[in-house]
């Protein structure tokens, strides 16, 4: 571990930098039944130490607003940071002292707004959290770093609601150390500190606390003991909206209105939602031959407001022998925050704020930090090896319907350099491999279901309720009917050498996708007949394309991927790999390419086409058209509304050896491609650790044909309608709306 003499140690009698002591983090220490007295005593001693460090922080940071640096802009910055940290301390006292039991709904709403008001639209542009504002006021040298520091302090909002005193203290000590560097620079040298000195302080904060962060996150992932969110789910009065504020997440109109709406739904409807969600999870194990009885935990991922459904889901999982885990979607740099939120989360106070800070790791990312992160992650997995073996996988509730977000690329925001981008790709790959050592891909499963939030119809609760019920209906369609029709499609596709897909109108798609050949057509198939299990709702057949001969242009006029909108998204393929890409979001082509590279290719130089599928859920398509929301659907539903193509790994990544069968008994053999065949000899070249589906909606689809080895063309879809005999029933929903 790096040992340094900090500014705090040099100049502050009241406070000592104890970061290198590595005292384990602890929440409020209380002895519980069955615990060894020595363990209780140790926890109490550790908590007392954190209490003392907290007192020192309060004393030191409490004086900052009255001190003078001789640099007014930096004085204002540090005064505001100190006040914010003290606000976090007060919030910790409020939570610890049982404030939630006494506070009214209006008080909790005011407290929640006060915590997030500095990043809300209208305030954000004058906040140090905005890198552009920080650079304008603090200069290019320190602006980006000090904006990051504020973002890291803001991660405390969730932590103090969990009564995580250690997180409060270490960030207070970090702020004090950075401030002291400025005090000594100005007092001793008459100038600001060196940029590298401040970066080093921030760097070692991230490095020094990586081990505790890794241990805590893995414990939250695989161990059901004392889960903060699960306690809220199981113990709260869900008829009282005050429970939403216990999380410490931003509670906006979507969260309040969703909870209110679910509270008014008939119990049978909410139970149907929960049953569909959990049964899909169970079926995911059954159809792949994985043994669910060996598993002990299921990870819950959901958005605030869906607690009534989630409570019923927890009851269903208990009948399967599974206990729930849940972790907060990352906000701190120690937990790798992302635009794609994994875990439980509230509303976004400001999506531009999240976008501006998505690459803050650029301050620190180097080989040494990557190696340390991997080392401490392995150590953490070793500590929870038994629990990891019992982890069954995530059960995800997605939401959709937020208003359009057009991100602004700000030059003041931190961004990864080319070398860092490659290093980050490598880190994600190696971290994924490490997790699979302890949680083998072939032994786990998942499920995903999606529901709209009220923002999809602002101010129109009646229309929202009607659409929500339609989504429930879509999520529970008759899978037997779809299985039969989809088998008809598969029978026509099997034995083809390729599929040809062309757009119509303004859609420029012109693709040829190579199909895996069959050795024994009586026993083998190239396409999976996907009904309603892990990916809800029903409605697709899919395969892993052969990369050789897969070529052409994929274009879609408008699509939402991972919460971001793309206009005129275009990818060019040769030999199954992306060779060129662009979109029409920005005026400058350089920005368009960078946007696609960062958020679709995930900074890879290229990605293969990992999946080709034909969506069959015309009911979902028509419903989306009727309500005018087709451009705001999540990919989970949108991928069922036309042919789609995934860039990245195949659907069978890391589980290619597991034999998978369709309901008709034939084995799906297209589980790999030319790249994944290298998985034993060159795993770094076999996998990309991403998978993004891009759908051509029916109204942009000119034709989709299967081509036999002798050149015979079998039409499957023409001008957005299914034309293969035996699939005409899929057109019925669309024929009811002649104006499509």
Q: What is the pLDDT of residues 45-100, one digit of tens each?
A: 898 999 999 999 999 999 999 999 989 999 999 999 999 999 999 999 999 999 99
Closest CA to 693 of 469, 550, 510, 540: 540
Tell whether 213 is covered by a domain. Answer: no
- Cβ atoms of 525 and 494 closer than 8 Å: yes
In this structure, the answer to whether residues 146 and 175 fall within a common structural domain is yes
The tokens for 215 are: 């241990």
Band (pLDDT 50/70/90 cuts) for residue 631 is: confident
Q: Is residue 289 part of a domain?
A: yes
- Count of domains forming the chain: 3
**582: Cβ contacts below 8 Å, ≥ 6 apart:** 568, 569, 570, 589, 592, 593, 596
| Dihedral of alpha carbons 540, 541, 542, 545, sign | negative
Tens-place pLDDT, residues 337-373: 998 899 999 999 999 999 999 999 999 999 999 999 9
End position of a domain, from candidates 208, 240, 263: 208
Q: Is the pLDDT of residue 2 over 60?
A: no
- Tell me which of 164-178, 414-428, 544-558, 607-621 is least confident: 414-428
What band does 563 get if pLDDT is binned at 50, 70 and 90? Answer: confident
Chosen domain end from 178, 208, 238:
208
The secondary structure of 571-598 as a DSSP string is EEEETTEEEEEE-SSSSSHHHHHHHHHH
Structure confidence at residue 38 (pLDDT): 72
Q: What's the pLDDT at 562?
A: 79
Q: What percent of the chain has pLDDT over 70?
A: 94
More confidently predicted of 304 and 737: 304
Does residue 687 lie within any of the structural domains? yes
Structural domain harbouring 655 = 479-735
User: What tokens were used for 672?
Assistant: 């790999």
Rounded Cα distance, 262 and 280, in Å: 21
Q: Are 395 and 274 within 8 A, CB to CB?
A: no
> In whole angstroms, what is the distance from residue 157 CA to residue 326 CA?
18
pLDDT higher than threshold 60 for residue 32: no
> Which of the four pLDDT bands, split at 50, 70 and 90, describes residue 418?
confident
**Cα–Cα distance between 328 and 333 in angstroms, integer?**
13
Average pLDDT over residues 397-424: 93
* pLDDT surpasses 90 at 305: yes
Residues 226 and 140 in one domain: no
Is the predicted pLDDT of residue 36 greater than 90, yes or no?
no
- 251 shares a domain with 190: no
Are 441 and 354 members of one domain?
yes
pLDDT of residue 178: 98
- Among 243, 254, 152, 170, smallest CA distance to 468 is for 254
Please report the pLDDT score of residue 84 as a whole number.
98
**472 in a domain, yes or no?**
no
Give the distance, in angstroms, between the CA of residue 419 and the centroid of all CA atoms in the same chain: 24
pLDDT recorded at residue 660: 87
287 against 638, higher pLDDT = 638
Give CA–CA dist 686/677, Å, rounded: 7
Q: Judge if 238 and 387 occupy the same domain.
A: yes
With respect to residue 2, please indicate whether it lies within any of the assigned structural domains.
Answer: no
Q: Of 80-94, 270-284, 401-415, 521-535, where does mean pLDDT reach its minimum?
A: 521-535
Return the SS3 of 349: coil
> Is the per-residue pLDDT at 35 higher than 60?
no
CA distance 615 to 556: 15
Give the SS3 label for residue 351.
helix
- pLDDT (average), residues 130-158: 98
Could you tell me if residue 466 is inside a domain? no
Residue 518 sits at φ, ψ, to 5 deg, of -100, 140
pLDDT at 12: 40
The residue with greater pLDDT, 491 or 11, is: 491
User: pLDDT tens digits, residue range 95-124?
Assistant: 999 999 999 999 999 999 999 999 999 999
Confidence of residue 735 (pLDDT cuts 50, 70, 90): confident
Residue bearing the bigger pLDDT, 275 or 563: 275
Average pLDDT over every residue of 306-323: 98
Residue 5: φ, ψ to 5°: -95, 110
What is the rounded CA–CA span in Å between residue 164 and residue 156? 9
| pLDDT for 630 | 86
Res. 665: pLDDT tops 50: yes
What's the predicted TM-score (pTM) here? 0.88
Only one residue has tokens 């606390």, namely 209
Say what the pLDDT of residue 738 is.
59
Looking at the chain, the whole-number percentage of residues with pLDDT higher than 90 is 82
CA dist 150 and 32 (Å) reads 37
Taking residues 205-227, what's their average pLDDT?
Answer: 95
Predicted confidence at residue 9, as pLDDT, reads 40
**Residue 522, Cβ density class (10 Å: 0-12 exposed, 13-18 middle, ≥19 buried):** exposed
- Asked if residue 72 and residue 97 are part of one domain, the reply reads yes
| Residue 566 within a domain | yes
| Structure tokens, 242 | 């005050």
Question: Tokens at residue 232, please?
Answer: 């809220």
For helices 37-63 and 165-184, the axis angle rounded to 10 degrees is 40
Residue 21 confidence (pLDDT):
43
pLDDT at residue 483 tops 60? yes
pLDDT value at 302 more than 70: yes
Q: Which of 46-50, 131-135, 147-151 has the least mean pLDDT?
A: 46-50
**Do 644 and 685 fall into the same domain?**
yes
Confidence at 303, pLDDT banded by 50, 70, 90: very high
68 and 193 co-located in one domain: yes
Q: 75 or 15: whose pLDDT is higher?
A: 75
Whether the CB-CB separation of 496 and 527 falls below 8 Å is answered with: no
If phi > 0 it is left, if psi is from -120 to 50 it is alpha, else beta; for residue 403 that is beta
705 lies in the same domain as 563 = yes
190 in the same domain as 328 = no
Q: Is the pLDDT of residue 237 over 90?
A: yes
For residue 328, tell me if it sits in a domain.
yes
State the pLDDT at residue 37. Answer: 67
| Residues 225 and 150 both lie in one domain | no
Same domain, 111 and 20: yes
> Where a domain ends, among 186, 208, 230?
208
Name the more confident of 10 and 575. 575
| pLDDT tens, residue by residue, 153-204 | 999 999 999 999 999 999 999 999 999 999 998 877 789 999 999 999 999 9
Strand duo 297-303 + 344-345: pairing: parallel
Whether residue 415 has pLDDT greater than 80? yes
- Angle, vertex CA 513, rays to CA 508 and CA 518, nearest 5: 160
Question: By C-alpha distance, which of 291, 341, 344 is closest to 321?
Answer: 291
Q: Which of 692, 600, 697 is nearest to 643 (CA)?
A: 697
């Amino acid at each position: 571990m790096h040992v340094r003499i900090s500014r705090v140690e040099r100049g502050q009698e009241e406070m000592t930098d104890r970061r290198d002591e590595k005292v384990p983090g602890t929440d409020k220490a209380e002895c519980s039944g069955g615990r060894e007295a020595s363990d209780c005593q140790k926890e109490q001693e550790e908590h007392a130490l954190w209490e003392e460090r907290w007192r020192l922080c309060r004393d030191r940071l409490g004086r900052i607003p009255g001190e003078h640096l001789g640099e007014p802009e930096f004085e204002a910055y540090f005064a505001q940071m100190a006040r914010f940290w003290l606000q976090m301390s007060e919030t910790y006292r409020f939570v610890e002292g049982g404030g939630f039991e006494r506070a009214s709904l209006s008080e909790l709403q005011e407290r929640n707004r006060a915590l997030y008001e500095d990043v809300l639209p209208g305030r954000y542009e004058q906040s140090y959290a905005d890198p552009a504002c920080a650079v304008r006021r603090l200069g290019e040298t320190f602006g980006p770093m000090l904006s990051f520091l504020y973002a890291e302090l803001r991660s405390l909002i969730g932590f103090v609601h969990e009564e995580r005193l250690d997180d409060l203290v270490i960030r207070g000590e970090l702020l004090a150390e950075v401030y002291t560097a400025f005090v000594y620079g100005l007092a001793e040298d008459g100038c600001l500190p060196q940029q590298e000195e401040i970066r080093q302080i921030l760097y070692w904060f991230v490095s020094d606390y990586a081990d505790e962060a890794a241990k805590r996150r893995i414990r939250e992932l695989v161990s059901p003991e004392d889960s903060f969110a699960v306690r809220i789910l199981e113990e709260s009065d869900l008829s009282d909206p005050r429970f939403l504020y216990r999380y410490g997440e931003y509670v906006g109109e979507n969260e309040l209105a969703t909870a209110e709406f679910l509270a008014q739904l008939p119990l049978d409807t909410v139970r149907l939602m929960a049953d569909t969600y959990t049964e899909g999870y169970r079926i995911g194990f059954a159809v792949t031959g994985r043994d669910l009885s060996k598993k002990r935990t299921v990870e819950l991922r959901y958005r605030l407001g869906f607690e009534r459904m989630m409570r019923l889901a927890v009851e269903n999982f208990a009948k399967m022998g599974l206990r729930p885990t849940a972790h907060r979607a990352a906000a701190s740099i120690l937990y790798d925050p992302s635009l794609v939120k994994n875990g439980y989360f509230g509303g976004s106070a400001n999506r531009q704020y999240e976008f501006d800070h998505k690459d803050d790791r650029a301050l620190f990312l180097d080989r040494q930090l990557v190696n340390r992160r991997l080392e401490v992650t392995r150590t953490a997995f070793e500590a929870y090896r038994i629990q990891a073996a019992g982890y069954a996988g995530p059960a995800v509730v997605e939401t959709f319907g937020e208003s359009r977000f057009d991100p602004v690329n700000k030059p003041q925001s931190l961004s990864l350099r080319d070398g860092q981008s490659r290093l980050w790709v490598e880190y994600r790959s190696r971290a994924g491999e490490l997790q699979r050592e302890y949680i083998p891909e072939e032994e786990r499963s998942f499920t995903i279901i999606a529901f709209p939030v009220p923002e999809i119809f602002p101010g129109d609760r009646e229309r929202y309720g009607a659409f929500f019920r339609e989504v429930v209906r879509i999520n529970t369609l008759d899978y037997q009917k779809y299985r039969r029709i989809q088998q008809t499609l598969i029978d026509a596709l099997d034995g083809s050498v390729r599929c040809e897909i062309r757009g119509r109108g303004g859609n420029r798609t012109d693709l040829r996708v190579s199909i895996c050949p069959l050795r024994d057509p009586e026993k083998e198939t190239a396409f999976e007949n996907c009904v309603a299990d892990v990916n809800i709702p029903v409605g697709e057949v899919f395969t892993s394309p052969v990369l050789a001969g897969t070529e052409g242009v994929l274009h879609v006029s408008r699509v939402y991927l991972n919460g971001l909108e793309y206009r005129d998204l275009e990818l060019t393929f040769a030999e199954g790999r992306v060779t060129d890409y662009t979109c029409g979001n920005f005026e400058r082509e350089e920005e368009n390419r960078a946007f696609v590279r960062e958020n679709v290719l995930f900074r890879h130089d290229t990605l293969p086409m990992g999946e080709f599928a034909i969506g069959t859920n015309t009911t979902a398509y028509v419903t989306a058209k009727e309500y005018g929301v087709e451009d705001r659907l999540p990919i989970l539903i949108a991928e069922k509304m036309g042919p789609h193509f995934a860039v990245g790994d195949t659907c069978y990544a890391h589980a290619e050896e597991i034999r998978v069968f369709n309901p008709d008994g034939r084995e799906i053999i297209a589980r790999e491609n030319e790249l994944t065949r290298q998985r034993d000899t060159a795993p770094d070249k076999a996998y990309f650790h991403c998978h993004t589906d891009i759908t051509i909606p029916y109204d942009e689809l000119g034709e989709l044909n299967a081509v036999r080895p002798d050149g015979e063309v079998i039409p499957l879809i023409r001008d957005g309608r299914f034309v293969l005999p035996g699939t005409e029933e899929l057109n019925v929903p669309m024929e009811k709306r002649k104006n499509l």
